Chains A and B, each alone.
Chain A
Amino acid sequence: MRRLPVSALIGLLLTGAFFAVAIFAQWLAPYQIGEIVGGVWDPASSAHLLGTDSIGRDLLTRMIYGAQVTIFVATCATILSFVTGSVLGFLAATAGGWVDQALSRFVDLVMAIPSLILALVVLTAVDVTLPTLIIVMGLLDSTRVFRLSRAVAVDITVMDYVEAARLRGEGQGWVIFSEILPNALTPLIAELGLRFIFAVLFISTLSFLGLGVQPPLADWGGLVKENSAGLIYGKSAALAPAMAIAALAISVNLVADWVLSRTTSLKGGRGA
């Protein structure tokens, strides 16, 4: 184990802190989530460390609960995209033939449309709830995981040990989960961080557009939207959640960069 670089350490600490805040939001928040405790856009004070929001709720409390929603949705979407994307990618690589062709061409087709545009079209047709958001985001992003895991698995399926497993009569499921998965895990884990950042930015953007998390729940993107009107009058409340999104993205990025450089050097430059 090599020494942890400073940037990765900062990234790990900040990411850990964000997740801790998200998990323990109910105990950390100084006020109730919907409680009106002050005037409209009060400046920061000792009672309200970040001031109050557009209708006088404590901004810090809203941010802490917002962290919970943002991180929860992004985590669920990332897990969904990894499970669907990698299973289908491994399946395409091991099955080959028309299964591979059909899956790969379909993924090409979906990736030819910008994710945001596709998500907006889908969200017009279905009701916007947390589960639908997670499913839409997870499935759209699984196309990228599919490409990566298929590319990695294609390299692995030609290995001798996979052929040995096939010859002794193991089924498709065994080959995928016992032969390919353990060997494809490193590049996939390196990708995990990047997909998580993408999910955080995606849900924040959707909520900012008013098409993501719906009130009374609020994630960081939604908090920016709620407080954006104050910006023109010089009330900076909208900048706090905006900064939180950026800080989370940067800290996960630092960790992902470190994991990526470790795995690429372990694999002779062939990771990711």
Chain B
Amino acid sequence: MHPVVKLVTQRIALGLLLLLAVSALIFFGVAALPGDTAQAMLGQSATPEALANLREKLGLNEPIVWRYLHWLGGFLTGDLGVSLANGQDIAKSVGQRLGNTLFLASCSAVIAVPLAITLGLIAARYNGRWPDKLISGVTLATISLPEFVAGYIVMYFLAVRWHIFLPTSLVFSSMGFLERLQAIALPVIVLVMVVLAHMMRMTRAAILNVMESAYIETAELKGLSPIKVIWRHAFPNAIAPVVNVVMLNLAYLVVGVVVVEVVFAYSGMGQFLVDSVTKRDMPVVLACGMIFAAIYIGLNIVADVVSILTNPRLRHPK
């Protein structure tokens, strides 16, 4: 077997194993915490009989390992159980919202990734001079802003003061593609702001790291123009770290989405998760938490696989 195939297979297997461990950690961790789902649902004034009935109905009297396997099996076959709050099928409620969240996240990624790489290249080209300082300064300021602060500042100026966009992002299933794009403009701007800074700074660092290599000095001594040195010699070697940076930030985007969705009342997974935590609806929280963790770990696996594939030393072993 080609060593690269082996490496990639190993990495993916390791990722799946990690996912399994995460599911166990979340499930058993929650079970070990001092809290009782039945008590939380019925409140402090519940009679012992009502509590016992509800425990029986929820299957809380089964052994914990059995409950875990049941839950995991359901998860793998797409059966996420029913919500405690309204008895609805969780998989159904998640489906539509997951689509909305992925739409929001991918629109932000489509704008943020090329922009961040371009800005990172410019900052690396003019390292230490005013374009670099300007870009770095502005991005440092946006890093210090939590997502919801950025969200309200953008909302206040763009929607309330200058009336360019609508302040909330309501989407319906009957909406067309363009209408949807218009509705999510503000959350997309906020998410781009939040991930752009990290992505750009890490891209800049990755390229500057490559720029210290001896072959770059050779290229410079040959008399190539600085932008050509970066584009032809530094960038191809920086692809692996840059792809890593991009993937890590996309994973970060998946979490940033939670807060931004709440700010703009966008009906996605994040809003759903936060609502369910407020209602103490444990099955929904577990399902949403696992989906977020799975996407996060999945993107990390993709990042590792891409960096294996783009590394010429691993592709052509001696």
Contacts and interface: CB of A to CB of B under 8 A. Distances in A.
Q: Do A and B bind each other?
A: yes
Contact of A204 (B21, B146, B263, B276): B146
B304 interface: no
A125 B281 CA distance: 9
**Interface of B (DSSP majority class):** helix
Most A CB atoms within 10 A — which of B161, B168, B285, B296? Answer: B285
A152 interface: no
Given A124-B280, A126-B34, A205-B147, A114 B255 contact: yes
Contacts, number: 131
Contact of A116 (B25, B168, B255): B255
A127 B289 CA distance: 19
Contacts of A231: 152, 155-156, 160, 167
Interface residues of A, number: 41
Contacts of A112: 18, 22, 293, 296-297, 300
B21 A109 contact: yes
Given A210-B278, A211-B278, A205 B259 contact: yes
B263 to A, nearest CB: 8
A126 to B, nearest CB: 5
A264 interface: no
B200 interface: no
Nearest to B21: A109
Nearest to B37: A125
Interface in B191-238: none
Nearest to A123: B277
Nearest to B286: A121
Interface residues on B, range: 35 or more
A133 interface: no
B178 interface: no
Interface stretch (A38-46, A71-79, A156-164, A233-241): A233-241
Contacts of A243: 149
Nearest to A243: B149
Nearest to A202: B146
B30 A125 contact: yes
B285 A124 contact: yes
A189 B33 CA distance: 32
B101 to A, nearest CB: 13
A114 B147 CA distance: 15
Interface string A197-214: 100010011001111000
Interface string B133-152: 00000001100111111001
B33 A122 contact: yes
B274 A125 contact: no
A173 B27 CA distance: 35
A113 interface: yes
B26 interface: yes
Contact of B149 (A110, A121, A124, A245): A245
B277 A211 contact: yes
Contacts of A81: none
Contacts of B293: 112-114, 117
Interface of A: 109-110, 112-114, 116-118, 120-127, 197, 201, 204-205, 208-211, 221, 224, 228, 231-234, 236, 238-239, 242-243, 245-246, 249-250, 253
Interface of B: 18, 21-22, 25-26, 29-30, 33-35, 140-141, 144-149, 152-153, 155-156, 159-161, 167-168, 251, 254-255, 258-259, 262-263, 273-274, 276-278, 280-282, 285-286, 289, 292-293, 296-297, 300
